Chain A
Amino acid sequence: MRTQITKSLTTNEAIVVYTIVALSLAIGFINPAFREFSTAITLSRAMLVTLIFAVLEMMVIVSGGIDVSFPAIACFSSYATLRLILAFDIDSVFFFYAVAGVMGIAFGLVNAFLIAKMELPALIATLGVSSVANGATLAFLGTKEYSNIPEGIDQLSKTFLFSYTNSNGITFQMTSLILIPLVLLILAYVVLRHTMLGRGIYAIGGDRFAARIAGFNVTRIQYIIYMTAGFLAAVGGVTYTILMRQGSPQNLMGSEMMVIAAVVVGGTRITGGHGTVFGTLSGVLLIAIVQNNLIMVGVPTHFQSFVVGLIIVLGTGITSIRAKRVANSSKV
């Protein structure tokens, strides 16, 4: 029992949580504005879309692959659907999510075919798909940004769960869109922990040949993973469009780096087979705190990119040193 407690206090997830606590205390100490409840609301708004992407990326990385195409897929499907909506005057949130979701699944199918069927390296395959999707968006769909989102869809960005007024009289509102990543996190937790499919994802990430011998249909599981990833990418893209109240063909491009970083910092092993939903959540939280509050403690904006990079390197370094120590320790 006692060893179990010490074990759970020194997992990767726990270390990330300590870092978050220490960082929050430090920021709160330097700048009292951080200590307000409103920080939680701004943070959850900042984390919202990243969380959706992190869930899909975690799932892919656990299965031993990697997906760098999700920002391009998100942009393509949300932008294309938005143009359909504007062209035919369809004012329906369901249509927005459903059509974009189908496009996302189609891209996911391409990824899955290249990776599962043709056995191409996941990084190169998804990099190629990313380039195709991004090029197609800009070349064939246009580069115009749309902010005239139909009334009914736009309404969703103005529905709030609750609002909070701070001592200065500024009102902060918690957007109801936060329910999407929350539901996804719970779903991902249940699927990964308590279904055969979820265990299969861990199994092929650990050793795909062993997984096949153990009776998992590796190709089918990979198809499911990448198609789900495509679907979630589209959901993320649409959510971002609604949240920002603006449709842009490439404002999500380049976010893959930050998402992969959040997932890996959260203790998911890049070589596959290890990773938890809770770890991913804390990884995203850590990166969001760093990104949003460096200004509060007086770090200039142009240093941010470097500091985030440094944190990622440290995070992955610590995870790898621990993994190496486990590998070198004597086997019983």
Chain B
Amino acid sequence: MKRLQIHTLTKDQKNNIILVMLVLLIFLLMTILSPRAFLRPANLKGMAVQFPEFGILSFGMMIAMISGGIDLSLVGIANLSSIVAAVVMLQMGDSVFSIVLGILAALLIGALCGVFNGFLIGYLKIPAMLVTLCGLQLYSGLGLAITKGPALTGLPEAYGEIANGSLIGEIPNTVLIFLVVAVAVAYLMRSTIYGSHVSFMGTNEVASKYSGINNLKVTMYTYIVSGLMGSIGGILISSHYNSAKSDYGKSYTLLTLLIVVLGGTDPSGGKGNVLGVSLAVIVLQMISSAFNILRVNSFVKTFVWGLILIGIMLISRIIDTREKQERRTQ
């Protein structure tokens, strides 16, 4: 009877349960190992400011991956749009109007980069991996050309409040933004026609074309959305440092890929869920700050990220083939 119940759970749900258990495990482990440092409000707050940055970028990566592609240019988009926002704000001076204008400019740049990616991928049929890898070079290069190297500083004080302040009680703004984005993406993927079209296209591009889905349109929308995610991530990053530069967050490309795969998204397209990705974001942020507290060399982190990525991929591959064999024997 119990066996049957486990079998009725979908693969996504199983993955999410494992992730929740991981979160609890790490939390327990850290409260036992060094309760003072881990449960300190400063540490919790530090974690809350950091994870939305790459969390939102991960949603962009997730959508691209569900559509059967990949978006390696997210960090480039993030930096370029935050640089443009910074230029706008520096021109317009210190007022609420200039901040709003800066944010709008950032979102516009994100969408434009997405249009560019989507056009090359959907219309010219260049593989997404190549387009976005080039895109990373192109957008960071453009950012570098605008800033001429050093970071743009002297942004309005109020702009820094976006990431560092808290509107409602003690909850940092970044967490609120993350929640809003997560709900919006979940709605987009679960309850809109576009959402189901994306996963159809990711599962089988030819079949979706012959069932009347406009693949080009879906691809364009996908990369525009992921570009927007990139620019929101960029706004958070630049607001966190209160400056904009062309090489912030370089390590985020690998990290977002890791998060998305850990969160149960299928690298070959078609499947993925917001809850899983959000849980994976929290797991990785907790591991990261656990490393910091235990004073582990930060390069070990790179090493461990790689091991985790390969490990997760291997485990899910082994489970997949075993399930296939079971089905064959039944």
Task: Classify chain B: how many residues form its interface, as a range.
Answer: 35 or more
Q: Is the CB of B124 within 8 A of A324?
A: yes
**Which A residues touch B210, using CB under 8 A?**
none
B280 → chain A closest CB, angstroms: 15
276-320 of chain A: CB within 8 A of chain B: 300, 302-310, 312-313, 316-317, 320
Interface string of B293-315 (1 = CB under 8 A from A): 00001011111111101100110
The answer to the question of A244 belonging to the interface, with a C-beta cut-off of 8 Å to chain B, is: no
A47 adjacent to chain B (CB < 8 Å): no
A66 to B130, CA, bound (A): 10
- Kindly provide the distance from the CB of B125 to the nearest chain A CB, expressed in whole angstroms: 6
The reply to whether the CB of B254 lies closer than 8 angstroms to some CB of chain A is yes
B129 is an interface residue with CB less than 8 A from chain A: yes
In contact, B317 and A135 (Cβ under 8 angstroms): no
Cα of A310 to Cα of B137 in the assembled complex, Å = 9
Residue from the list B131, B136, B149, B309 in contact with A131, Cβ < 8 A: B309
B214 interface contact, C-beta 8 A: no
Cβ 8 A contact of B129, one of A66, A129, A307, A310: A66
Give the CA-CA distance A118 to B319 in the complex, in Å: 12
A317 cross-chain contacts in B, Cβ below 8 A? 120, 124, 126
B35 within 8 A of A: no
Q: Is the CB of B303 within 8 A of A136?
A: yes
A124 in contact with B267 (CB, 8 Å): yes
CB contacts (< 8 Å) of A312 on chain B: these are 134, 137-138
- In the complex, chain B residues whose CB is within 8 Å of the CB of A123: 70, 129
Task: Check: B144 CB closer than 8 A to any chain A CB.
Answer: yes
Residues of A within 8 A of B302 (CB): 131, 134-135, 138-139
A-facing residues in B107-133 (Cβ within 8 Å): 120, 124-127, 129-131, 133
Closest Cβ–Cβ distance, residue B277 to chain A (whole Å): 16
Cβ-closest chain A residue relative to B255: A131
* Pairwise interchain contact A139-B303, C-beta atoms closer than 8 A: yes
Q: CA of A177 to CA of B308 in the docked complex: distance in angstroms?
A: 39
The answer to whether A128 touches B313, judged by C-beta atoms less than 8 angstroms apart, is: yes
B285 at the A interface (CB under 8 A): no
Chain B residues near A270 (CB-CB < 8 A): 126-127, 129-130
CB of A186 to closest CB in B, whole Å: 28
B257–A127 touching, CB < 8 Å: yes
CB distance from B103 to the nearest CB of A (A): 24
Shortest beta-carbon distance from B314 to chain A in Å: 6
**A131-B309, A135-B304 as given contacts; A118 in contact with B317, CB under 8 Å:** yes
Closest to A254 in B: B250
Task: Flag whether A161 is at the interface (Cβ < 8 A).
Answer: no
- Contact partner, A124, options B147, B149, B261, B304, Cβ 8 Å: B261
Q: Does A305 contact B137, Cβ atoms closer than 8 Å?
A: yes
Report the minimal beta-carbon distance from B282 to chain A, rounded to whole angstroms: 21
Q: Is A183 an interface residue (CB 8 A)?
A: no
Distance in angstroms between the alpha carbons of A119 and B320 in the assembled complex: 12
| Complex interface: chain A residues within 8 A of B148 (CB) | 300, 302
User: Does A131 contact B130, Cβ atoms closer than 8 Å?
Assistant: no
The chain A residue sitting closest to B313, CB to CB, is: A120
Cβ B124 vs Cβ A320 within 8 A? yes
CB-nearest residue of chain B relative to A264? B130
Residue in A closest to B307 when the chains form the complex, CB atoms: A132
Assess whether B309 is in contact with A309, with CB atoms less than 8 Å apart: no
B126 and A316: CB pair below 8 A? yes
Is A221 among interface residues, defined by CB-CB distance under 8 A? no
CB nearest to B306 among chain A residues? A131
Q: How far is the CA of A300 from the CA of B141 in the complex (A)?
A: 12
Cβ of A321 and Cβ of B306 under 8 Å apart?
no
A125: interface (CB < 8 Å) = yes
**Is A271 part of the contact surface with B, judged by Cβ < 8 Å?**
yes
Contact A305–B140 (Cβ < 8 Å): yes
Contacts of B9 in A (CB 8 A): none
Complex CA gap A270/B129 in Å reads 9
Q: Mark B259-285, 1 if CB is under 8 A from A, else 0.
A: 001000001100000000000000000
Asked if B142 is at the interface (CB within 8 A of a chain A CB), the reply is yes
Q: A201: CB under 8 A from chain B?
A: no
A114–B129 alpha-carbon span in the complex (Å): 19
Complex Cα gap A114–B148 (Å): 41
Instruction: Please give me the residue from chain B that is nearest to A120 by CB atom.
Output: B313
Contact pick for A305, options B124, B141, B257, B305, CB 8 Å: B141
Which residues of chain B are near A152, meaning CB under 8 Å? none
Q: Which of B131, B134, B138, B314 contacts A114 (CB 8 A)?
A: B314
The reply to whether the CB of B193 lies closer than 8 angstroms to some CB of chain A is no
**Chain B residues within 8 Å of A125, by CB:** 310, 313
Q: A139-B302, A305-B145, A306-B144 are in contact. List 19 more A-B contacts (CB 8 A).
A: A114-B314, A119-B317, A120-B313, A127-B309, A128-B310, A131-B302, A131-B305, A132-B303, A135-B303, A135-B306, A139-B297, A139-B299, A260-B130, A260-B133, A270-B129, A310-B138, A320-B126, A321-B124, A323-B125
A interface vs B, CB < 8 Å?
A: 66, 114, 118-121, 123-125, 127-136, 138-139, 143, 257, 260-261, 264, 270-271, 300, 302-310, 312-313, 316-317, 320-321, 323-324
Q: What are 14 A-B contacts defined by CB distance under 8 Å?
A: A121-B267, A129-B310, A130-B306, A131-B303, A131-B305, A132-B307, A135-B301, A135-B305, A135-B306, A138-B299, A261-B134, A270-B126, A306-B142, A312-B134
Closest 7 CB pairs of A and B: A135-B303, A131-B306, A306-B141, A135-B302, A305-B141, A309-B138, A132-B306
